[in-house]
Amino acid sequence: MQAAIFKGEGNLVLTDNHPKPELTAPDQVLIRVTGVGICGTDLHILQVPPAHPARIGIVEGHEFTGVVETLGEGVSGFRVGESVLIDPHPGCGVCDECRRQRPDRCIPLLASSGEPGHPGTIGIFSDGAMAEYVVVPQRSLYKVDQSVPSHIAALAEPLACVINASEKLKVQPGEFVVVLGAGPIGLLFTALLRANGASKLIVSEPSEYRRNAAGEVGADIVVHPDDLAETMATEMPGGADVAVEAVGPLLPLAIGLVGAGGRVLQFGHDETVNPAVPVADLLKKEVTIYGAFIGRYTFDTAARIMASGKLPLDKIVSHQLPLSKVHEGLDLLREGKGLKIVLRPGE
Ligand SMILES: [Zn+2]
Ligand SMILES: [Zn+2]
């Protein structure tokens, strides 16, 4: 089958004769992949030097959806031919962290990556979905309304992560929100926090292409970062209630943007940066900083949002390409000419 393999040092190799995976345990499911998104994390993995670790030799692709092809003999509750959402970092469900509602800290999942603090995500530390078929454990599967198209269902993982983060912020109607970055994650935050009731929402983004998308998913004001300070002075003179960092190195800026008692969320993930925190500003304003990483039992919520059609998720998918064009998709993202790019293996 066709597959895109991470070979290390910025090298993703597309091959047409990767072996089709087979079930090796009774709780496994063979999925025929119908959509796999290219994530900023895939770009980080392929950066030189890498901004995110990954296991050399694995098939990339952790944001995916597909159709059940074969069920292991121990699997129940799903049927062959059913479209499903797939959590690429499922907790084991029984370790101490999972039992404390922290599947993101699942002890065996963290141990399986071999990288401290990183869960053994499918598509980063084991074979993922930039391929025609992938094998996943049953506990990765979530039901979804069968009318949800596959390019939308492929957003389940980033949406689940953004839901988890947004649940911490608890944005209320009437609040002022700033989102830094209008990549797919920044756009998902914009759409979700708009739905939460933010009464004024500013998005800051250098790419004109992405600024236009931010306006389409619910931003009131979209600015180039060079103009952000001036816009804040007129539109939110007392500072924002909430600032979302969806870029990587901008935590100091985000702290500066909120007013007294403001909340800041660090979501952008770039392990090559370690910005200095403006401590005096932080404590004088009594700012609360949240960090958020992956989803915590939020795929069911993502499935409901998708089925409702109430978020403009289709505006976040800019391209659907055959898997054979994975390098074209990566280049579009590097050049800021794409939002979420969904690859379609088998087409
Ligand atoms: Zn991702
Ligand atoms: Zn666990």
pLDDT of 53: 94
Asked if 299 contacts 156 with a C-beta cutoff of 8 angstroms, the reply is yes
Ligand nearest to the CA of 106: 2
pLDDT of 216: 97
Secondary structure element (H or E) that encloses residue 86, with its range? strand 83-86
Q: Could you tell me the distance, in angstroms and rounded to a whole number, from the CA of residue 37 to the centre of ligand 1?
A: 8
Between 117 and 126, name the one with better pLDDT.
Answer: 126
pTM for the whole structure? 0.95
Q: Is the per-residue pLDDT at 210 higher than 90?
A: yes
Ligand nearest to the CA of 99: 2
Q: Is the per-residue pLDDT at 235 higher than 90?
A: yes
pLDDT tens digits for range 280-292? 999 999 999 999 9
Ligand nearest to the CA of 128: 1
Quote the mean pLDDT of the chain: 96
pLDDT of 247: 94
Q: Is the per-residue pLDDT at 251 higher than 90?
A: yes
Secondary structure element (H or E) that encloses residue 223, with its range? strand 221-223
pLDDT of 269: 87
Q: Could you tell me the distance, in angstroms and rounded to a whole number, from the CA of residue 93 to the centre of ligand 2?
A: 5
pLDDT of 129: 98
Q: Is the per-residue pLDDT at 103 higher than 90?
A: no
Q: Could you tell me the distance, in angstroms and rounded to a whole number, from the CA of residue 92 to the centre of ligand 2?
A: 4
* 152: its two tokens: 């939308």
pLDDT tens digits for range 155-209? 999 999 999 999 999 999 999 999 999 999 999 999 999 999 999 999 999 999 9
Active-site residue flag, 18? no
Q: Could you tell me the distance, in angstroms and rounded to a whole number, from the CA of residue 94 to the centre of ligand 1?
A: 25
pLDDT tens digits for range 291-323? 999 888 899 999 999 999 999 999 999 999 999
Domains and their CATH numbers in the chain = 3-88+123-155+316-344 (3.90.180.10), 162-291 (3.40.50.720)
Q: Could you tell me the distance, in angstroms and rounded to a whole number, from the CA of residue 41 to the centre of ligand 1?
A: 6
pLDDT of 4: 98
Asked if 307 contacts 145 with a C-beta cutoff of 8 angstroms, the reply is yes
Active-site residue flag, 65? no
Which of 18, 34, 44, 298 is flagged as catalytic? 44
Q: Could you tell me the distance, in angstroms and rounded to a whole number, from the CA of residue 2 to the centre of ligand 2?
A: 32
Instruction: Tell me what the mean pLDDT of segment 135-161 comes to.
Output: 97
d(CA 199, CA 241): 11
The DSSP bridge partners found for residue 223 are: 204
Ligand nearest to the CA of 120: 2
* 207: its two tokens: 């790419």
d(CA 261, CA 241): 7
pLDDT band at 336 (very low <50, low <70, confident <90, very high): confident
Which of 15, 18, 24, 41 is flagged as catalytic? 41
pLDDT tens digits for range 58-89? 999 999 999 999 999 999 999 999 999 999 99
Q: Is 24 helix (H, G, I), strand (E, B) or coil?
A: coil
Instruction: Tell me what the mean pLDDT of segment 115-139 comes to.
Output: 96
* 49: its two tokens: 């030097």
